[in-house]
Structure 1
Amino acid sequence: MTAGLALPAALAAAPARAQPSAAASWPSRPVRVVVAYPPGGSTDVLARTIVPRLQELIPGATFVVENRPGGAAVVGTQAVAQAAPDGHTLALGNNQTHAANAAMLRGLPYDPLADFAPVGRIAEVHHALVVPASSPARTLQDLAARGKGGGRLAYASSGVGSASHVIAESFVRREGLAATHVPYRGGAQATTDTVAGVVDFFVSTWPQVVALVRDGRLRALGIGAPQRLPDLPEVPTFAELGAGYMAVDAWFGLWAPARTPDAVVARLGATLLRVLAEPEIVARLQQQGFAAAPLDPAAFAAFQREEVRRWEELVALTGIRLEG
């Protein structure tokens, strides 16, 4: 090669070496973490526990939790799927937004696998069936008897097609109960109306109701844990009650839009794992009813694929589908 050709090549290579990596230059503006549910629900509570610590561990970063509820959690989730893939818009979602909706919602305007880059799994929670403290039902069998004895039960859910809807409807159908579904836009209002006795029961994520159960404002008739909880040993497991089919855990994770630079996803994923390894965070999650369940981006991607298949089976069993 002549000197005349070598010099331009060297000059051309210099700017490339000088350019910062995608991870090093990120974030260059505030990062929005979209929660596709109203404030006060389990997903929102988790976001407001985890996101501030993410911000603290990433120098110069500003993270903002943005609630964008609506359309069975589709509105906020779709917004992230369509956002610029630069790491400045993320979704903190769950099994509904990134698994169940794919099986349940015809015309879903996003693909939970193809349109997202998994950053990491955060936590898992059990579901519990709760009734108002004033309810005459002291056991799951009592509640079922009310729905079979000529009366009609009303049950809340955090939304049509939510896990709380699917699990409760499985109970209703398997037991042959007369029951009316009362959907809400998120778990907060469903919980409030259950406490008030507007509905007869609610299958809720445990973090949503644990404080109210401890305070005696709600009564838990069963929980989807593998064994009784040490702090509430009087609450039987669904398996003990012969209702093991109701033991469907909810899970939560963080996603970026597809095609977000791998370096940004890796940095986010590594930081999330650091957060979830901190004893203080683990303790806070436990107090709120969550169990930390960290997975890195690759492991979380594999887990999500299996969950999409699992929810296809659950939806086939209940027949619950939504129209897009």
Structure 2
Amino acid sequence: MILRRHLLAATIAAPVAGRAWAQDAPWPSRPVRIVLAYPPGGSTDVLARALAERLATSIPGATFVVENRPGGAAVVGTQAVATAAPDGYTLSLGNNQTHAANAAMIRDLPYRPLEDFAAIGRLAEVHHALVVPATSPAKTLAELAARGKGGGRITYASSGVGSASHVIAESFVRREGLTATHVPYRGGAQATTDTVAGVVDAFVSTWPQVVALVKDGRLRCLGIGAPRRLAELPEVPTFAEAGAPNMAVDAWFGLWAPARTPAPIIARLAEALPRILAEPEMVTRLGSLGFNPAPLGAAAFASFQRAEVARWRELVELTGIRLEG
């Protein structure tokens, strides 16, 4: 649930958007903040720190500092960037929640994901997967669904109310007409632990969160949102093959600046991103963490984001999941 006191504090602390500003030196002449709406240690944080390191070496004289500002369903940190001075010194590294899903899920969202930001570029994608305990009798997605029909009931974990894992799982429940109980957690780590232990019947997780446990045989993966089977685990079917193509909803990550940030700054950052993401060392580093580098330029990314906002509105309408202010 969004904590209004956190949002008020963020609004007071952040500069007012659109106020008069001036660059007294060529950009960048001081450290650039990459603000995350999440705590340290998660997938967004890992990506941000890897990117900040490479941006600093790709743009001469630049320093990039990652700043974690979690709270309020990822609203606090995102709003702080929306209301920051559009001078190129505050950026947002966000994802499908901060810049798409929240627009559909939160009626009184204090920022506009499309209008209040200038898209710089998409960075990467991460597939979602549905996993069950290794001891589960369900060997396929159809078998799991059968357990939630005819008087049966299943339980499913999520990384939090309104998270992508919640919405994707609930969309499956609604489309299949299952009887199911949602068990929300504060993040994916404990949800994963309890799925391994058999406390819950299933969990829709980002692939990096569970891949090692699937490989070790401690979790069974019934489907993954990849366009084709993974070479590393060819026995795992795609959601399309498992009969649930609508569950193939990737998590994606991108970089934004406040709206009205000067076009030359946006262009300079946008030009650097594809080169960084194509570096063999970066590809290997992100791949080892389960990320798929998926660069899109500023214009293409803006179009992609608009389509994703519409897609998440449809998912929210289907599931009825909302976060209230």
Equivalent-residue separation in structure 2 for 1:69 and 1:116 (angstroms): 19
Return closer, same or farther for 1:25/1:134 CA change in 2, 3 Å cut-off.
farther
Q: CA deviation at 1:263?
A: 1.5
Is the 2:119–2:302 Cα contact (8 Å) retained in structure 1? yes
Equivalent-residue separation in structure 1 for 2:152 and 2:70 (angstroms): 34
Across the two proteins, how many residue pairs are aligned to each other? Answer: 304
Q: Partner of 2:18 in structure 1? A: none
- The answer as to 2:89 corresponding to 1:62 is no
Moved more, 190-199 or 218-227: 190-199
Q: CA deviation at 1:151?
A: 4.7
Aligned partner of residue 313 in structure 1, secondary structure: helix
Moved more, 187-196 or 67-76: 187-196
Q: Partner of 1:95 in structure 2? A: 96
Q: Partner of 1:230 in structure 2? A: 231
Is the 1:41–1:208 Cα contact (8 Å) retained in structure 2? no
Equivalent-residue separation in structure 2 for 1:125 and 1:23 (angstroms): 40
Equivalent-residue separation in structure 1 for 2:155 and 2:73 (angstroms): 20
Structure 1: 5+ residue stretches without partners? 1-20
Is the 1:86–1:261 Cα contact (8 Å) retained in structure 2? yes
- The answer as to 2:202 corresponding to 1:211 is no
Identity %: 80
Moved more, 140-149 or 66-75: 140-149
CA deviation digits over 1:207-265, x for unaligned, max 9? 22222222333221111112111110111111111111111122110111112221211
Moved more, 153-162 or 93-102: 153-162
Matches within 5 A, 1:63-212: 63-148=64-149, 150-212=151-213
Return closer, same or farther for 1:321/1:171 CA change in 2, 3 Å cut-off.
same
AA aligned opposite 2:196: V
Equivalent-residue separation in structure 2 for 1:287 and 1:23 (angstroms): 42
Aligned partner of residue 214 in structure 2, secondary structure: helix
Q: Partner of 1:282 in structure 2? A: 283
Equivalent-residue separation in structure 2 for 1:52 and 1:102 (angstroms): 30
Is the 2:214–2:221 Cα contact (8 Å) retained in structure 1? yes
Q: Partner of 1:256 in structure 2? A: 257
Return closer, same or farther for 1:136/1:40 CA change in 2, 3 Å cut-off.
farther
AA aligned opposite 2:306: R
CA deviation digits over 1:259-315, x for unaligned, max 9? 222121111111112201212212222222221111111221121112112222222
Equivalent-residue separation in structure 1 for 2:166 and 2:51 (angstroms): 27
Larger Rg, first or second structure (1 or 2) = 1
- The answer as to 2:319 corresponding to 1:318 is yes
Structure 2: 5+ residue stretches without partners? 1-21
Is the 1:35–1:69 Cα contact (8 Å) retained in structure 2? yes
Is the 1:120–1:255 Cα contact (8 Å) retained in structure 2? yes
Aligned partner of residue 232 in structure 2, secondary structure: coil
Q: Partner of 1:299 in structure 2? A: 300
Aligned partner of residue 171 in structure 1, secondary structure: helix
Aligned partner of residue 322 in structure 1, secondary structure: coil
Is the 1:43–1:93 Cα contact (8 Å) retained in structure 2? yes
Equivalent-residue separation in structure 2 for 1:39 and 1:78 (angstroms): 18
Q: Partner of 2:28 in structure 1? A: 27
Is the 1:72–1:160 Cα contact (8 Å) retained in structure 2? no
Q: Partner of 2:17 in structure 1? A: none
- The answer as to 2:249 corresponding to 1:265 is no
Equivalent-residue separation in structure 2 for 1:289 and 1:197 (angstroms): 24
Return closer, same or farther for 1:175/1:300 CA change in 2, 3 Å cut-off.
same
Alignment root-mean-square deviation, CA = 2.1
